[in-house]
Structure 1
């Protein structure tokens, strides 16, 4: 048997202490990432009001919270799988893609919804009234061509209009461009970008700033009604190894959603403060008070995405219920 030197034993002992220290402190730490935009308002409220810390203390736990902002689902997913983040956020389709990819492995599932907010396909081309009018001369800006929430919704609608085999019909005229840049291009005109599948607050700005810009399609149209836009998700490992921290996080989300519903003016102030937003308070309140926008942690019509993306072959695993890709804590709330 190989003899261990004193130096090696000391090193192993140190590593053991480190491991023990990490295990002891794993419960009570959470690293949360959100993207940019008013669709993440619930997280802004949680952050501003320190609700995770509040609910942690109620459970006898001092929780250390780290907040990060990242643009794009791809970066979110990579950070989650690498262990750099504990909870990430993105649109329902990117979450479903990771659930599908990690099933039986990391088992990524959704924690909660962040609200029902439509996305609008906008166009400055007066000849484009429906997606049937789009041609090779048009260019549609989306955050990530072919894979983003907006691209997936467009693919779902395209399959309905042109048939399943043609669901990628408009991928070839889609251009990857961040929402702020796409909005600026659409408002200014003169560039190849004459369409944009846009989220709030950007479509509000474009419709107000340029009279030639008009709505062609709402994501609600494609999904049969109001539907969850963004969700929070994590791995089975984090969920199982941090039960109290997870419970505190979920309770914080629930309280934040209730605050937004009860006091929209305060919610608007929080968004502007946390995001250091240059949007006018009037526009922020208009968005929050818009009846199309509902800030809730209850998933709605999320299964519609799963069913349609499975039909198209984007997902290999078929979900028979929204509970297939949500963790059990969410089951206490009505969902779909």
Structure 2
């Protein structure tokens, strides 16, 4: 199998499986049209919208769907290896909006980052898993007791939530395992070299490891993760009327890209494989594990993610128990746009 390119490995991250770009899709090459901003709105010609991305996910999706063509504002992409550096860039005003799974987003909010949750997407959770090396004695969650488990990419990642949830469900304590944190590229190298035996990870890292013989101890399906990924925006960006209008327009274009993927599966997987330098079969798995539609952040979604916040605060991973409903701004992507 061809090795992932350095460019890919520098861009991949935690919330890939739940990242808003991943979708199961198939069909012809016709692109979805997106209406331009209305003439009565603010002038967006002087706006450069900086989009924070992980795993080349959003950029690959929007390139494949072509829905960013003709924006009345300029677009700049900022790629990050994980959610933590993405949110650091948002904190410093370098990024307007970005995508991440639920727990990394909660971690950023708990740490004081001033952002709002403006849209969401859900997946089945299969893109997050705890892996064991071939031949490992670890076969079940109970077998993890007393073991070292490497979590990617940092404290507060979606992989850490999966670990905490399955331990709790199995009647074990989080302290029953020895947790270490490694960025995905470092963890991948160590796992491949046999230096670590058990790895909680996600997305393309998970899929490549499985292709090389790793076994899935447990994944995030069946409620073991929320399956929710968020598009968040800096409050400072929302406070600027023109920038807010640009973000709202971008969300409509992102929604149209999801709609495009619903009938263009093969084409999207081909673009993903080509852009990220991975085999077609791996690309097909990655996109099949992702979200299919952009949604407003509804009370049902916030209630589901509140459970994530409660558990992770209880085990000490979140400094504060984030009240998720209070972090939402539905004015950029209201319910009517999702219909």
29, 34, 45: which one aligns with 2:53: 34
Q: Unaligned stretches of 5+ in structure 2?
A: 1-41
Contact 1:77 1:98 in 2 (8 A): yes
Q: Could you give the per-residue CA deviations for residues 144-203 of structure 1, whole angstroms, max 9, x where no partner exists?
A: 34322211232233233336xx34543xx22322334433443443x2x10111222222
Instruction: Judge which range, 247-256 or 142-151, deviates more.
Output: 142-151
SS at match of 2:253: helix
Aligned residue runs from structure 1 range 30-69, under 5 A: 30-36=49-55, 40=57, 42-47=58-63, 51-54=67-70, 56=71, 62-69=72-79
Separation (CA, whole Å) in 2 of partners of 1:243 and 1:334: 16
1:182 is aligned to 2:187: yes
CA drift of 1:92 comes to: 1.0
Contact between 2:149 and 2:199, CA under 8 Å: does it hold in 1?
Answer: yes
Equivalence for 1:304: 304
The equivalent of 2:201 in structure 1 is 198
Q: Secondary structure at the match of 2:270?
A: helix
TM-score, normalised to structure 1, is: 0.72
Question: SS of the counterpart of 1:220?
Answer: coil
The alignment partner of 2:68 has SS state of helix
| In 2: Cα distance, 1:52 partner to 1:227 partner | 26
Q: Indicate conservation of the 8 Å contact 1:128/1:216, yes or no.
A: yes
Aligned to 2:328: 325
Distance in 1, matches of 2:46 and 2:306, equals 32
For structure 1, the 5+ residue unaligned runs are: 1-22, 57-61
Count the aligned residue pairs.
284
Q: For residue 70 of structure 1, report the CA deviation from its aligned partner.
A: 0.9
Q: Is 1:122 equivalent to 2:122 in the alignment?
A: no
Question: Would the alpha carbon gap of residues 76 and 223 (structure 1) be closer, same or farther in structure 2, given more than 3 Å must change?
Answer: same
Q: Structure 1 residues 26 and 310, CA, compared in 2 at 3 Å: closer, same or farther?
A: farther
Distance 1:94 1:317 in 2: 12
Determine which of 94, 101, 110 is the counterpart of 1:91.
Answer: 101
Of 169, 174, 185, the residue aligned with 1:160 is 169
Distance change in 2, residues 1:301/1:244 (3 Å): closer
Task: Assess, with a 3 A threshold, how the Cα gap between structure 1 residues 100 and 44 changes in structure 2: closer, same or farther.
Answer: same
Q: Which has the larger radius of gyration?
A: 1
Structure 2 match to 1:209:
212
TM-align CA RMSD = 3.1
Per the alignment, residue 267 of structure 1 pairs with: 268
Work out the CA distance in 1 between the residues paired with 2:115 and 2:150: 29
User: What are the residue-to-residue correspondences of 1:97-176 with 2, within 5 Å?
Assistant: 97-102=107-112, 107-116=114-123, 117-118=125-126, 119-124=128-133, 126-136=136-146, 138-162=147-171, 166-170=173-177, 173-176=178-181
SS at structure 1 position matched to 2:153: coil
